[in-house]
Amino acid sequence: MENRQTFSVRFYLKKHRASEGEAPIYMRISLNNRRVDFSMQQKIAEDLWIEKVGKASGSTKKARDLNIHLDSMKSLVYQHYKSLRESGKAFTLETVKNAFLGIEEEEDKGPTVLEKFQEHNDKIRLLEGIDYAPQTIERYDTSLKHTRDFIRFKYKRDDLYFTELNNEFIVDYDIYLKTQRKCAHNTSLKYIKNFKKIVNLAIINGDLKADPFVNFKMKLKPVDRGFLNEEELNRIITKKMATRLDQVRDCFVFSCFTGLAHADIYSLTAENIVTGSDGGKWIKIKRKKTANLSSIPILKITQKILDKYKDHPECIINKRLLPVKSNQKMNAYLQEIADLCEIDKHLTSHLARHTFATTVTLNNNVPIETVSKMLGHSSLDMTRVYARLLDKKVGQDMMHLEGKWDF
């Protein structure tokens, strides 16, 4: 799959280097937002230069000869660029520059890192909605951008060959993400994990012999994303709010009593509501993130929310069951709701999923296997991340021991 490239050549004056009324002429070659400048070893008076077209003005012999020379140089650069494109081999701005200057390139070192990363992302984009969720593709695109920026930051180059990768590259990349990009430890590792997939593909294809990750430990730090207790949840449910916050609150509460993630509630339609073998209504939906099936009984509180919005214009137009805003807007409004309800917690769409697992289900004696099924998890280990037992539940579980022993 051919990489998308933008290439251009232009001439300009370096006016700050002018002397004796004349400024030097420079050529600028640009490739994919990277650029390199060369002196043309020519000078011209500023008032005789047409900046917009990058040419000398007038019809004097000197002006004509200069313009012919510049056109010749520009044509030569484009010829080298076209030749490199048609060769089918990976190349960078450095390669174009060397070809123009007549500098011999080193022997072929195989494919480059960003070339293969872009190729991978283009392929998975074809499988969007089939094997990959939009959020996954977006994360790989962001990871590619971070990798490109890191290579430019550390190596001052447009790309690297796989053969140039080593453990130092990985360690420095991790440091770059945490210091320059201000990524948290786990966020940094997620981007590096995306990059590791590209490295693994290179190893499988024989483009890379030694694994640069061999001595790099990728251990995530445990993160407690928090949850609402019963009192906090009830405070949100019963609080009177303005319309814009009311809709966000309803979608959040719906998630608290279904365990559905933001992306799943956003895409919820009438087709996801079915009648179960018990005669009750159920939500049956494949999770956007994992494609695992979630099966959730509809409680009175969730049915009440669905009924509230069945005739909502936004829901009718979009053929969805709830007027769900973007995750970014949801989280911004949820923080307003937290302040309004005097809840000193960072309220997010995902916190609702943790509240469902902890406060609504596990601490009300719903077995972890049942909770796992409703959350759409493929293993109980995934569900245990959400499992936190409150003091209330621990106390209830210990009550049967009361009176069994006497002292």
Residue-level pLDDT at 324: 92
Q: Are 347 and 336 in contact (CB under 8 A)?
A: no
pLDDT digits (tens, 9 = 90+) for 303-342: 999 999 999 999 999 999 999 998 889 999 999 999 999 9
Domains and CATH numbers, the chain: 7-101 (no CATH), 113-204 (1.10.150), 230-396 (1.10.443.10)
> What's the pLDDT score for residue 179?
95
Q: Which pTM does this prediction carry? A: 0.55
pLDDT over 70 percentage in the chain: 91
Q: Is residue 288 within 8 Å of residue 264, measured between CB atoms?
A: yes
User: Which residue has better confidence, 49 or 404?
Assistant: 49
* Mean pLDDT, the chain, integer: 87
> Token pair of 328, please?
């970014």
- Token readout for 238 is 């019963």
Q: DSSP label at 319?
A: T
CA nearest neighbour of 336 among 266, 227, 239? 239
SS3 content of the chain, % helix, strand, coil (to 5): 55, 15, 35
With CA atoms as reference, report the closest residue to 278 among 260, 297, 294. 297
pLDDT (mean) for 82-101? 83
Please report which residue ranges of 156-228 form alpha helices under DSSP H.
167-179, 185-204
